[in-house]
Chain A
Amino acid sequence: MTTTTETDPVLAEATLRAALSTRARPHRPSGLAASAAFGWRAMLKIKHVPMQLFDVTAFPIMFVLLYTYLFGGALADSPREYLQRLLPGILVMTVSWITMYTGMALNTDISKGVFDRFRSLPIWRPAVLVGMLMADAARYTMASVVIITVGVALGFRPDGGPLGVVLAVALLLVFSFSLSWIWTAIGLRMKTPESVMQVSMTVLFPLTFASDVFVDSSTMPGWVQAFVDVNPITLLAGASRGLMHGSVDGSDIGWVLAWSAALVAVFAPLAMRLYNTER
């Protein structure tokens, strides 16, 4: 027993020394492994704060119920009949809206000190963002399941069967992942989550409403129609309806994939540039 400053009982000094003994450094993880670790981080957050799932559960239920019963009587003979056309589109629209939370969550997350640590690790740089988007894909899947379940309960009967529904959701996930890169870039660029939301809404309102989700574009004036017909939401809604009802138009799917590739090609490098920019 010496009288030097007490080594605190909390610290097990021998264990600490042992823990510090040098050991082989593991091989640096692959890009996929690093992304998966960040995806795991996002899933853990959901586990700790399940309220984060509110936007992928309550929000979609509200959308389906509101639009089915508000417009069903006016736009088709009955809500149930309208639902056959509406549901694939409302699925596309709702999930597209939910992608906005990607940017907001990232904006809040990235201002925390832990990102300094992530950014100083020798890992594949996009892993942080890719992992987050992978976890978001799980959230989008959950929203899709909720919407389809509610739809079926209200009388939605897909002629394409379960396979058609699964393929439609898969296509939606590809598009949502690609679309999320826009919000990721915005989330990295803006100072506050509020401003991220404002910018995202400004893009999403015209994108989702100026589509043929609610009504066929042939009822619209020519100049609106011109926009609506090339809007990726229209194309995705068309592909989704086709897949679910077993009457898919291959060119719709092709265009959706082309849009997705274009979104990633433009916004993923932009997001990475912003991510690497100091703040």
Chain B
Amino acid sequence: MTDQPVPAIETEGLVKRFGTTRAVDGIDLTVRTGTVYGVLGPNGAGKTTTIRMLATLLRPDAGTARVLGHDVVAQADAVRSAVSLTGQFASVDEELSGRENLVLLGRLLGFSRGPAEERAGELLDAFGLAEAADRLVSTYSGGMRRRLDIAASIVVTPELLFLDEPTTGLDPRSRNQVWEIIRILVAAGTTALLTTQHLDEADQLADRIAIIDHGKVIAEGTSGELKASVGAGSLRVRLRDPEQRPAAARLLDQVLGEPAQLESDPAALSSRVSDPQQVATALAELTGAGFAVTEFALGQPSLDEVFLALTGHPAEPTPEEDAA
């Protein structure tokens, strides 16, 4: 263990309370440099609070956190010199233009006027914002804002980049762009800590994932490991005749050994599948029994299913937990 390089992030028993709520309740994380680490959880799980502590914006109530070897409380300035933060709600200045935002950050990071402007121009080109550069950010679309936000985070390339729900509220095209940017950043050597509510996002980007709920890590591993822990996924079937649904559900229950769920679409039902092999059997049985199947799909386990499996409660934004 002692030969290991300094981890990008290492926390032990990190706790943050707000009043009587333990927003973060003893989180242990280790993130290796050069990797993308995904923190997955529903709203209110403690993701943002964790990031804010690691970025020196909040002081932990208990436990320790070291970022690139520096303690987030005692050596906050050293931490700040090595990290950048892209917040959940784009942390750019809406009342300035895109260019002014980047020039301002360049100057705050120590560039003099000329080089700050040059760097801003470079980033605006790279992020496809050259045309909108001199418009106020308040006129930007969500995707443009997020790109500017990320550009602002790499005016000086950070060793560690915090991305707090970088694609929340974005359309699929903008989301793909952000994913692409993150991949390029990581390929260039930056470590990223990413929070998300979506398993597929963590799956796409993260080398390792921690699932957190009520301020605690409830599972940790690669996406493959996590998925294996909740079964292969779910089978969704749509019948031609909604009348047949109850009978089809009974059949699926038998074949898959899991209770089938009736969906809001009156002709559709779904069931968890622990072994993909069973899917072929189930479909054959359905057709053999005279059910006309118009559609079927084998889905990845959703965050809901991961949650259900791990915690026994759905991944909805939960009300304040009573008595922990």
Contacts and interface: CB of A to CB of B under 8 A. Distances in A.
A associates with B? yes
Interface of A: 5-8, 10-13, 15-23, 25-29, 33-34, 37-38, 40-41, 44-45, 48-49, 112-123, 127, 278
Given A26-B115, A113-B89, A113-B90, A17 B188 contact: yes
B110 A22 contact: no
Interface in B34-56: 52, 55-56
Contact of A37 (B104, B173, B185): B104
B177 A123 contact: no
Given A5-B176, A34-B108, A121-B80, A25 B89 contact: no
B253 interface: no
Interface stretch (B121-129, B243-251, B272-280, B295-303): B121-129
Contacts of A7: 180
By size class, the interface of chain B is: 35 or more
Interface string B199-238: 0000000000000000000000000000000000000000
Nearest to B96: A44
Given A41-B93, A278-B59, A17 B125 contact: no
Residue of A26, A27, A119 ringed by the most chain B CB atoms within 10 A? A26
A15 B151 CA distance: 13
A17 B184 contact: yes
B99 to A, nearest CB: 10
B176 A28 contact: no
26 contacts: A11-B126, A11-B127, A12-B125, A15-B125, A17-B184, A25-B156, A27-B110, A28-B110, A29-B109, A29-B110, A38-B108, A40-B104, A41-B100, A45-B95, A113-B87, A113-B88, A113-B90, A113-B91, A120-B57, A120-B85, A121-B108, A121-B109, A122-B80, A122-B81, A278-B57, A278-B58
B92 interface: yes
B126 A117 contact: no
A22 B250 CA distance: 60
Interface in B2-40: none
A182 to B, nearest CB: 25
B106 to A, nearest CB: 8
Nearest to A25: B156
B108 A123 contact: yes
Contacts of A120: 55-57, 80, 83-85
A112 B109 CA distance: 20
A7 B176 CA distance: 8
A114 B184 contact: no
B198 interface: no
B87 A117 contact: yes
A13 B184 contact: yes
Given A16-B181, A113-B89, A120-B56, 15 more contacts: A20-B184, A22-B188, A25-B156, A26-B115, A34-B108, A37-B104, A40-B104, A40-B107, A45-B96, A116-B57, A117-B105, A119-B56, A120-B84, A120-B85, A278-B58
A29 B156 CA distance: 13
A1 B99 CA distance: 33
A115 B108 CA distance: 13
Contacts of A114: 91-94
Contacts of B92: 113-114, 117
A112 B93 contact: yes
A139 B52 CA distance: 34
A28 B127 CA distance: 25
B57 A119 contact: yes
Contacts of B94: 112, 114
Nearest to B129: A10
Contact of A22 (B88, B96, B152, B189): B189
A16 B184 contact: yes
Given A22-B189, A34-B108, A11 B181 contact: yes
B110 A26 contact: yes
Residue of B58, B90, B128, B177 ringed by the most chain A CB atoms within 10 A? B128
Contacts of A28: 81, 109-110
A237 to B, nearest CB: 35
B61 to A, nearest CB: 11
A110 to B, nearest CB: 12
Contacts of B110: 25-29, 33
Contacts of B100: 41, 44
Nearest to B83: A120
